[in-house]
Structure 1
Amino acid sequence: MSANSKLTVAVHALAWMGLHQSRGHEVSTSEQIAASVGTNAVVIRRLLGDLRRAGLTESRRGAGSGWVLGREPAAITVLDVYDALDDGPVFALHHSEPDPGCVVGGGIQPVLSGLYGRVDGALRAELARTTIADVLKGILTAH
């Protein structure tokens, strides 16, 4: 199994945009963001489109086209980004029904559902405590 890096790339893009805007630039291009992330601009455009639907980014067309933050970095939590990407739960139950006649197969889903619910609650609480401004501050402090 491989880890999904979509949240990481989205937070990276938003932090980059926040820094870029704080330095007096009105818009960011997907090419500029992609260069920092180390990916293709098409990947960034798709991701920023998902974030736009959640109100976290806005796109500008015409002269001076590009992307801007939809809110101040301090008003965007990592949970907002996580929810905007809507990749489903971190952990999922079986894709097919386990054998209900088996002791483990018949009882595993309720046990894991409870565990996964608690994990999801803890994850959401932690992500809600951190804003894009916090991420950017941590980056700038470490640099």
Structure 2
Amino acid sequence: MGLSSRSAVAIHALTMLGRWNDRSLTSAEIADSLASNPVLVRRILGSLRDAGLVLSTEGRGGGWTLARKPREITLYDAFAAVEEGPVLSRHAHPPSDACEVGRHMQAVLEAEFRAAEHAMEVRLGRTTVEHLVQQTLARERELTH
């Protein structure tokens, strides 16, 4: 399927929730930060809720909060909650068996692509929402001083 923007939206939303972890945020507040549509944000937040990463409360004063501490949620958690299928696209249809390259390319690419995807999973698994909150706060301090 390939990587979509859902991961970036999910990580952005989780970072906002981690930054203001002492209160709930509405999907409209998160959408404003993304310069996006609240409906899209609600859809992504719904996937994050299904994965156990966020909680929602309805009614006055309701909104979205993290289900776990920001240091307990990795970028890979967010990625896995909203993306489906492999990151790198495979052949849409099998190559020709009559060609020595075609006959072996799927197996060769599968090994390479899987190794690359595993490396991405490991890297995203090392970075937490707390880490992103700290990075954004540090950048904000640099900007204002």
Q: TM above 0.5, one fold?
A: yes
How many residues matched? 139
What's the C-alpha RMSD, in Å, of the aligned pairs? 1.4
Paired letter, 2:11: V
Q: Using the alignment, how far apart are the partners of 1:43 and 1:93 within structure 2?
A: 28
Paired letter, 1:128: G
Tell which has more relative contact order, 1 or 2 (C-alpha 8 A, sep 6+): 2
Paired letter, 1:62: G
Say yes or no: does 1:117 pair with 2:97.
Answer: no
User: What is the CA-CA distance between 1:93 and the residue it aligns to?
Assistant: 1.4
Gap regions ≥5 residues in structure 1: none
Deviates more, 1:98-107 or 1:75-84: 98-107
User: What is the CA-CA distance between 1:20 and the residue it aligns to?
Assistant: 1.8
Q: Deviation per CA, 1:23-61: give whole Å up to 9, x if none.
A: x4x211000000001100001000000000000011101
Q: Which of 42, 45, 49 is matched with 1:45 structurally? A: 42
List structure 1 runs of 4+ shifted beyond 2 angstroms.
none
Give the structure 2 partner of residue 12 of structure 1: 12
Indicate conservation of the 8 Å contact 2:57/2:64, yes or no.
Answer: yes
User: What is the CA-CA distance between 1:3 and the residue it aligns to?
Assistant: 6.1
Give the structure 1 partner of residue 138 of structure 2: 141
> What is the percent sequence identity of the aligned residues?
37
Gap regions ≥5 residues in structure 2: 141-145
Give the structure 2 partner of residue 68 of structure 1: 65
Say yes or no: does 1:30 pair with 2:27.
Answer: yes
Give the structure 2 partner of residue 56 of structure 1: 53
Q: Deviation per CA, 1:66-91: give whole Å up to 9, x if none.
A: 11111111000001111111321111
Indicate conservation of the 8 Å contact 2:12/2:34, yes or no.
Answer: yes
TM-score, normalisation: structure 1:
0.92
